[in-house]
Amino acid sequence: MPDFDRSPEGLAFSPAVLAAQERLGGRERYRTAEWPIDISRDLAQFIATQRSLFLATASAAGQPYVQHRGGPPGFLQVLDSRTLGMADLPGNQQYITIGNLSENDRVELFLIDYMHRKRVKIWGRGRMVEDDPVLVERLKMPGNPPWTSRALLITVEAWDVNCPQHIPQRFEAADVAAAIEERERKIAALEAELAALRGQ
Predicted confidence (pLDDT) per residue in 67-119, tens digit: 999 999 999 999 999 999 999 988 788 899 999 999 999 999 999 988 888 89
pLDDT tens per residue across span 7-64: 666 677 888 888 888 888 878 887 777 788 899 999 999 999 999 999 999 999 999 9
Domain residue ranges in the chain: 1-34, 35-169, 172-200
Could you tell me the pTM of the whole model?
A: 0.79
Architecture of domain 35-169: Roll (2.30)
Assign 4 a pLDDT band (cuts: 50, 70, 90): low
Report the alpha-carbon distance of residue 144 to residue 111 in Å, rounded: 21
Question: CB–CB of 50/113 below 8 Å?
Answer: yes
Amino acid at 45: Q
Q: What is the helix (H) or strand (E) element at residue 187, kind and residue range?
A: helix 173-199
pLDDT in tens, 126-164: 999 998 999 999 999 888 888 888 999 999 999 998 777
DSSP letters along 47-82, please? HHH-SEEEEEEE-TT--EEEEEEE-STTSSEEEETT
The 3-state DSSP class for residue 83 equals strand
- Which of these, 171, 167, 129, lies nearest to 150 by C-alpha position? 129
How are the residues of the chain apportioned to helix, strand and coil, as percentages rounded to the nearest 5?
35, 30, 35
